[in-house]
Amino acid sequence: KEQYPDIQICHNHYWKTKLILERSTWNQDKAEHIIQKLMLSNDAFSQWMGIEVVEISPISVILSMVITEEMTNGFGIAHGGIIYSVCDSALAFASNAYGRQAVSIETSISHLKPLKIGNRVTVTSYTKRISGTLGHFEVLAHDQTNALVGIFKGTVFYNGKEWNSYVKNDSQYNS
């Protein structure tokens, strides 16, 4: 029997949660530990961007940050790489939250609306499908008025390593 059966996500939140909880190895405490203590605390770039973790759940990871002057380009708007980067962080956190280490192998973004200094951007990474060694995710970026400002899509590769090997002397996370 496959250790990580396919997880197909539909658009109904009830079914998303039901499928993931029934067919995955989700552990809320472990997911929070992986994201906050093992990933974000060691991620200097995400820290420089001021990324805050808003929510971690089996179906999504929500991050938020404020655009600063240092993040703008010559047009006085947020550099596209900043929006890409916060979406990429959401992808990384969401894909690794299941306890298996993942790295992105393909990503793309569509920028829909510019952001200016002082704008808050909130990104939500949704798990679309996890199958064997691949995971597919979509990240939606919204500004403080809830206007959609970007759509990011990413595919990750699960490299076969478990995060619990990085949680030393903590039996709570090594089950």
4, 15 Cβ separation under 8 angstroms: no
pLDDT of residue 5: 41
pLDDT of residue 24: 58
47 in helix, strand or coil?
helix
Give percent of the chain above pLDDT 70.
79
Amino acid residing at 96: N
Higher pLDDT, 103 or 8: 103
Q: Is the pLDDT of residue 15 over 70?
A: no
- CB-based contacts of 106: which residues, under 8 Å, 6+ apart? 154, 155
Stretch (H or E) spanning 92:
helix 80-96
Q: If you count DSSP H runs as helices and E runs as strands, how many of each does the chain have, helices first?
A: 4, 7
Q: What is the pTM of this model?
A: 0.83
Rounded to an integer, the average pLDDT of 47-66 is: 95
pLDDT of residue 173: 46
- CB-based contacts of 61: which residues, under 8 Å, 6+ apart? 35, 53, 55, 90, 93, 94, 97, 124, 125
